[in-house]
Amino acid sequence: MRRSTTLLGSLAVAAAMIGATALPASAAAGDTSTTFSLSGGSLSSSVQSTATLTGASTAVGSTVITGPLGAVTVTDDRGGTAVWTVSAVSAVFTGALITSPSSSTAVSYTGGAVSTTGTITVISGAATTLDPTTPAAVVSPSALSGNNTASWTPTLDVTMPAGAKADTYTGIVTTSVA
């Protein structure tokens, strides 16, 4: 009997040691709710700082002087779906002659072909008459989503009176995006 008590005691000690070194139970599966935010960037435009209209006849008596205004690029890093509009306003083009300079009678802006990146649809800009005081919409997408860019080289048509004098004419075209 002594032998069976010792054997049972040894088995009990061994079982206790195995139980003490057993692996912990597995954790139950569960869901983790995860969130994050994307911050929108800015909406900006860049334009050429100077342009010389040389694309059409610039002889005295010409009534419309035409030429490229220079590249315009809109960068939309807002990451949304709100469309933007590029507007332009033009001062009157006036000659530098001290005695009775001539001035333009109208200025027209044509957006031309628009190249894009991202998810955006822009219809090429049509001719738009610019006013010296009220900005006119010249290019705008019909739809967009996320970050995108649009670039074009507009053409400017400056209408001069038939009696305009030989001179160097200067005017400022202001382009903005909103």
Q: What sign for the dihedral angle of Cα 70, 78, 135, 111?
A: positive
Is the per-residue pLDDT at 18 higher than 50? yes
**What pLDDT does residue 168 have?**
86
- The pTM (predicted TM-score) of the whole model is 0.76
Residue 27 lies in a domain: no
Residue 37 counted as domain residue:
no
| Beta bridge pairs of residue 170 | 94
Whole-number pLDDT of residue 57: 61
Asked whether residue 21 is assigned to any structural domain, the reply reads no
Higher pLDDT, 103 or 14: 103
pLDDT, the chain, mean: 84
At 28, the pLDDT band (50, 70, 90 cuts) reads confident
pLDDT of residue 50: 92
Our count of domains for the chain comes to: 1
Query: Among all chains, which residue has been given the structure tokens 């004419």?
Result: 169
Mean pLDDT, residues 21-45 taken together = 80
The confidence score (pLDDT) of residue 160 equals 87
Q: Report yes or no on 29 lying in a domain.
A: no
Residue 7 above 50 pLDDT?
A: no
Contact 83, 121 (CB under 8 A): no
Range of the domain at 60: 43-177
Across 4-8, 17-21, 31-35, 159-163, least confident range: 4-8
Instruction: Specify the pLDDT at position 166.
Output: 82
Rounded to 5 degrees, φ, ψ at 17 are -70, -40
